[in-house]
Amino acid sequence: MLPLALHSSALVHQHQGSQDLAKDATPIEAEEDLLDCNWADIFPVDKLHQEQENDPDLGPIITWLNWDYSPPQEELSLQSPATKHLWLCRAQLRFRKRVLYYKW
C-alpha cells in the first residue's frame, strides 16, 4: 500500500533542505501489505491528512468514503478525470491513520 500523492507539491518543497525531516513525523506502522515509502513517513500524519482533504482530486473521494456515499453518475461526471479514475478503483483505497492509501 502506498499513500496517494498530493496534487500540489507544496508540502514536499516545505521540507526540502531540512536536516532532520522525520523529527516531528509519525512513522507508518509496519504491516504486511504496507510497503516502505521514501517520502510518506517524513511528514506528520495530520499534515498529510489535511493536504489530502484539501486536494481537489482526493477531497471528494475522502468525503464520499467517509460518509459511505456513492455519488450518482451526474455528480461523478462533474469531477476531474483523476477523481473519476480513483472512484472506479475505490476497492483498492484504504485509510491508514486517516491518510488515504492505494493498495496495489
pTM value surpassing 0.85: no
Residue pair 104/7 in contact (Cβ under 8 Å)? The answer is: no
**Structure confidence at residue 42 (pLDDT):** 73
**Structure confidence at residue 14 (pLDDT):** 47
Phi then psi dihedrals of residue 91, to 5 deg: -65, -20
| Residue stretches of the chain with pLDDT short of 50 | 7-34
CA distances from 80 to 10, 30, 34, 101 (A): 20, 33, 28, 19
**Structure confidence at residue 17 (pLDDT):** 43
Name the CA radius of gyration of the chain, rounded.
Answer: 14
**Structure confidence at residue 43 (pLDDT):** 79
Amino acid at 99: V
Residue 75 and residue 93: Cα distance in Å, rounded? 20
**Structure confidence at residue 78 (pLDDT):** 97
Cell of 94: 484504504
Q: Which of 28, 22, 39, 44 is closest to 95 using CA atoms? A: 28
Specify the 3-state DSSP secondary structure of 93. strand
Cell of 71: 455519488
